[in-house]
Chain A
Amino acid sequence: MAYKDAIQILKNNLICDCDSGGEWFIDEFVGYPDELEMVYRKPILLGESNTSRLLTSESLLSDEILAEYRIVFSHSYQVPVLLMRFQTKSGRSLHHDKLWSENFRSSVFPLSEVPLPLHALSEIEHPHLGIPFYEFHPCKTADLMREVFYSQPTQLNNPVKYMIMWLSLIASPFGLHLPQKSIPT
C-alpha cells in the first residue's frame, strides 16, 4: 500500500518534468487492482560512435528503438524491481537481436558511466504480460537499501524517499534518470 502511494506521488511530479520524447504513467491490470506498475517509455538516442556498427544489422535499418522501464513490487523480496524491454517502433522485440545485445551497454549507457556487471541482468517473464523483460535481480536490494539508509534509518520507512533513492541507485545506471526538479526536498 505504501508503495502504491509513493509511485502515485512520484508519477505526478515526474510527468511535469518529463523530457521531450519520454512519458511516465502508471499501468493497471484489469482484474488486479493491487498490481500497479510505474512505467517510463522513451526513444533510445544512439551515440554517434555506435551508429556505424548498428547500421550493419538489417533489422535496425531506419527503425527507432524504444525503451520501456517498469517498476514492479516484488512480494517475495518485499522490494521494488526494475524491468526493462527494448523494441523497434513497430513492436518487434530486440532481445534476440545479436548485434543489439552486443551493443547493449554502449548503446544505452554512455561510456562515461560505470556499467554494472552483466550478471546483474537476467531475462524473466513479466507475471501479467507473459512476455520477456530484462530484470535487475531483487535478491540483494533490501540489504543494499538498508546500508544506504544506515545513517538515517527513519527514511527507510518513508516510501517516497525510499523510491527516489532506489531510482538513483538501481534504475539510473540503466538509463532511467530522474529529472532533478522531480526530487521533493
Chain B
Amino acid sequence: MTDSNILKRVWEGKVPACFTLALEDLAHEDHAPPPIYMFLPRVSYFPLVTEKVIRQFSQFSECALKTASKDMTSETRGKLEHEMQYAQSDQIDTFKQHPLVHEFWLEYAHQPLKWHYPIGLVFDMCANTMDIPWKITVHFSNYPTDLLLSPPVSRLAVETHFLSMIKEADALKHRSYVINQMQARDHRQLWNGLLHFRYDQFWSINSKLMEPLPQNTKDLPLEEMSASEIPENKPLSSSLDNISSSKCRTFRYIPCRLYCVSENPSSTPSGFIQKLIRPLNDDGSLTSLQDAIEILFHTNKNPLVQNTEPKGYLFFIHGITLPHETPMQWISEHLSYPDNFVHIVARPQSHSHRIKIYDPS
C-alpha cells in the first residue's frame, strides 16, 4: 500500500451509527420517529454530518416546538443570522422554525459526546465494537453546559475550533510559518474540503502543512529563513524506508494528544495529555510510537501507571493499533486527523474487545 493510499483509507474511514430521539424529548409518546441509520465519516464532526438527523428529529420534539414560539434573544438571532451565511437555501426555514437544531446534544451510554472532537476519536474512546451499530441518542433539552462547549452547535462553531487546531498544529510543526503564509482562501479550502468531504480539495492544501522542515536549515530560527528556502510543490514522497535514513527531514515537534479511557465509565470528566514530542530522539534516531507514549505517560513520575511500560493499555489511532516501533514523523504525516493532530486513544485492555491487528506483546 502506497502512502497516498493510506491517506485515502484514513479519509474514507466510516463508523456505523444508529440515531434515536430521547424519550424525554418526545412531544407525544405514541408518536416516535423511526431510528436513523448512517455511516459516519471518522475524520469529520457530528454537527457537520447530522444536520438531516437533527432536522428530522426536531419535528417530533416537544422542546423544539415550544421554543420555536418564544422570542429569540438578540444574541441568538444575531448568531443565527450569521449562520445563515453558511446555510444552503433549503435549510433557511429550519433556522426560523427550529432554533433548537443548534442546541442538540448527543449521548452514548449516558455520556454526552463531545461535538468538537472528530467522530473517529469519540468512537475509539467510548464505543464497544461488540455492540454495533453505535447507538446514539439525540437530545434537545437539558444541554450539559458543564461538559460540552456552549451552543450554538453548528458548522461555524466546528469551523472555528477546527482552524484553531490546525493553527496550533502548525505552531508545533513549523512555528506557525506555513499556516501564516497561506492565503485566506487556502484556509477556506481546507475547511470546505472537510465540510463537503472532498479529499482532493483538502489535500491539495494540507500537503503544504505536511511538508517537513528543510533538512539543512532545521536548526535555524525560522525567522531567518527566506521564502525561497521553503520547498514548493514537492510531492508526498515519504515512505517508511526513506524515513529510516539517518538524515531525514522532520517537523519541529509532533502535534499529538493522548486520551486515556477510564476503566470506570462513570468517572469524572477528563481531557487529554499533550506534551512536546520531538520527531528525533537525542541519539538522532526516529522517535517511535512507543517513545511518544512513554513521554506522554511520563512514567517515571506518574503514579497512575505502575510499570515502566504502560502494559495495561492498548493504543488506537483511527481504530487500529500500530507496531510500536512506527516512527512518529511518519504517523504525523499519514495518520493525523484533518486538524493535523495525531489523536491517540489509550484503552484498558480489559475494555478493548477489538480484534488486535498487531499484538505488541
Contact = CB atoms under 8 A, between A and B. Distances in A.
A30 B304 contact: yes
Interface in B148-197: 148-151, 160, 164, 167-168, 171-172, 176
Interface in B244-258: 253, 255
A96 B273 CA distance: 26
Given A32-B302, A33-B301, A101-B75, A130 B145 contact: no
Interface in B32-75: 73-75
B147 A139 contact: no
B203 interface: no
B204 interface: no
Contacts of A139: 167-168, 171, 176
B270 A129 contact: yes
A63 to B, nearest CB: 15
B272 interface: yes
> Which interface residue of B74, B76, B114, B150 has the most chain A CB atoms within 10 A?
B150
B130 to A, nearest CB: 26
Contact of A96 (B114, B143, B304): B143
A95 interface: yes
B75 to A, nearest CB: 5
A130 B269 contact: yes
Nearest to B275: A75
Contacts of B303: 30-31
A49 interface: no
B304 A31 contact: yes
Nearest to B72: A98
A76 interface: yes
A127 interface: yes
Contacts of B114: 125
A92 B145 CA distance: 8
A77 interface: yes
Contacts of B172: 76
Contact of A77 (B171, B255, B274, B301): B171
A77 B302 CA distance: 25
B281 to A, nearest CB: 18
B276 interface: yes
Contacts of A77: 168, 171
A6 B114 CA distance: 34
B304 A127 contact: no
A127 B76 contact: no
B298 interface: yes
Given A127-B274, A130-B270, A98 B75 contact: yes
Given A31-B302, A31-B303, A129-B269, A93 B145 contact: yes
B273 A127 contact: yes
Contact of A123 (B73, B74, B150, B167): B150
Contacts of A75: 274-276
Contacts of B146: 91-93, 131-132
Contacts of A96: 143, 145, 150-151
B116 interface: yes
A138 to B, nearest CB: 9
B271 interface: yes
Given A31-B302, A139-B167, A139-B176, A127 B73 contact: no
A34 B171 contact: no
25 contacts: A31-B298, A31-B302, A31-B303, A31-B304, A76-B168, A92-B146, A96-B150, A98-B75, A99-B73, A102-B74, A102-B75, A122-B160, A122-B164, A123-B150, A125-B114, A125-B116, A125-B149, A126-B271, A127-B273, A127-B274, A128-B270, A128-B271, A130-B147, A132-B145, A132-B148
Given A77-B168, A98-B73, A102-B74, 16 more contacts: A76-B255, A92-B146, A93-B145, A93-B146, A98-B76, A99-B73, A124-B149, A124-B164, A125-B114, A125-B116, A127-B273, A129-B269, A131-B269, A132-B150, A137-B164, A139-B168
